């Protein structure tokens, strides 16, 4: 049954990729009507997130941002799907990298790079990074349960030179590359919500107490890796642009959490300026700092 579902979806995607872009986005507009108005996919989650992040906006403005997000979200779904059949030239017509020389200057020094981005714009297009850099590129991902779709996703990323690495294996792969003196660039999406038991750090993000993973900072210090933020912008429908912003080349020169705060502030600024391009359907603020403090205090009292 899973295989039949895969064949059906793959056939639909193949047909969609034959369409001119303007027709593809007509389908995206139809999908928006279904997801937003008929299915109401996570609409309550999106509106709740927006009300917490932008309490200064009235309900009408937050709904306008929500509709903009769903329009963009539908674009991302179809863009990412048909990317499976795009050529190198076609994908580079959809996403451009305006200063790849920043990466190459670090590459010449033989340093590892941790690339930090987020669920902003169309992050799936970052799988084209291997086309514009000499680095071996690791793309961190969470394997899918359906082996057929998982294989398709991996192929999607591998075709342009990115090596997909399951989340639980990335640390071992990076340490091994460092030991073998192979300069690699690993892409991390920084806005993932930590498992409650693994929370180690909180910050104020979009005005809210927000837990963060510290993996990027810890790995950068351990491996002496440069950290570069991938600032992804949506220029217009179907066109994205990436600007590389160096956060640090030597993480040992920074204070604890300074590196983490730096990439969080870049993302926060992007979201504040153009909120519709972030993934608002994610339950980013599910965990409560009050519960965290209460449980930590109880654990301390029990030791």
Residues 175-195: tens digit of each pLDDT: 999 889 889 999 999 898 998
User: Mean pLDDT, the chain, as a whole number?
Assistant: 91
pTM score, two decimals? 0.92
Whether 205 maps to a domain, the answer reads yes
User: Confidence class of residue 241 from pLDDT cuts 50, 70 and 90?
Assistant: very high
Residue 3 has pLDDT above 70, yes or no: no
pLDDT bracket for residue 168 (50, 70, 90): confident
For residue 158, what are the domain limits?
2-295
Residue 66, pLDDT above cutoff 80:
yes
pLDDT of residue 13: 82
Task: Give 256-276 pLDDT, tens digit per residue.
Answer: 999 999 999 999 999 999 999
Higher pLDDT: 155 or 303? It is 155
State the pLDDT confidence band at 93, using cuts at 50, 70 and 90. very high
**Residue 203 maps to a domain:** yes
More confident residue, 197 or 112: 112
Examine residue 303 and state whether it is found in any structural domain, yes or no. no
In a domain, 169, yes or no: yes
Gap between the Cα atoms of 267 and 254, Å rounded: 19
Judged against a pLDDT cut of 70, whether residue 2 lies above it is answered with: no
- Please check whether residue 121 lies inside any domain of the structure: yes
pLDDT category of residue 238 using cuts at 50, 70 and 90: very high
Find the mean pLDDT for residues 71-98. 94
Determine, yes or no, domain membership for 10: yes
Where does the pLDDT of residue 242 fall: very low under 50, low under 70, confident under 90, or very high at 90 and above? very high
For the ranges 85-99, 160-174, 213-227, which has the lowest average pLDDT?
160-174
Does residue 225 belong to any structural domain of this protein? yes
Any residues with CB less than 8 A from the CB of 98 and at least 6 apart, and which?
241, 242, 243
- pLDDT for position 303: 64
**How many domains, in total, are found in the chain?**
1
**Residue 301 domain-assigned (yes or no):** no
pLDDT of residue 221: 95
């Amino acid at each position: 049954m899973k295989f039949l579902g895969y064949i059906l979806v793959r056939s639909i995607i193949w047909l969609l990729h034959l369409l001119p872009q303007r027709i593809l986005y007509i389908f995206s507009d139809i999908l928006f009507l279904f997801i937003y108005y008929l299915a109401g996919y996570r609409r309550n989650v999106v509106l709740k997130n927006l009300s917490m992040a932008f309490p200064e906006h009235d309900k009408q403005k937050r709904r306008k941002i929500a509709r903009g997000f769903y329009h963009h979200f539908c674009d991302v779904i179809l863009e990412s799907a048909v990317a499976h059949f795009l050529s190198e030239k076609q994908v580079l017509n959809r996403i451009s990298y305006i200063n790849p020389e920043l990466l190459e200057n670090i590459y010449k020094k033989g340093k590892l790079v941790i690339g930090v981005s987020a669920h902003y714009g169309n992050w799936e297009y970052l799988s084209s990074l291997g086309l514009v850099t000499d680095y071996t590129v690791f793309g961190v991902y969470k394997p899918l349960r359906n082996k057929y779709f998982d294989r398709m996703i991996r192929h999607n990323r591998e075709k342009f030179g990115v090596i997909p690495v399951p989340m639980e294996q990335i640390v071992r792969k990076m340490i091994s590359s460092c030991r073998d003196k192979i300069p690699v660039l690993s892409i991390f999406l920084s806005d993932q919500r930590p498992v409650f038991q693994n929370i180690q750090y909180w910050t104020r993000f979009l005005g809210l107490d927000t837990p963060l993973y510290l993996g990027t900072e810890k790995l950068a210090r351990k491996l002496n890796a440069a950290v570069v933020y991938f600032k992804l912008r949506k220029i217009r429908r179907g066109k994205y642009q990436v600007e590389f912003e160096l956060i640090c080349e030597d993480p040992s020169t920074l204070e604890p959490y300074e590196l983490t705060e730096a990439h969080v502030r870049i993302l926060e600024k992007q979201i504040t300026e153009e909120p519709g391009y972030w993934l608002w359907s994610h339950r980013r603020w599910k965990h409560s700092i009050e519960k965290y403090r209460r449980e930590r205090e109880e654990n301390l009292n029990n030791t």
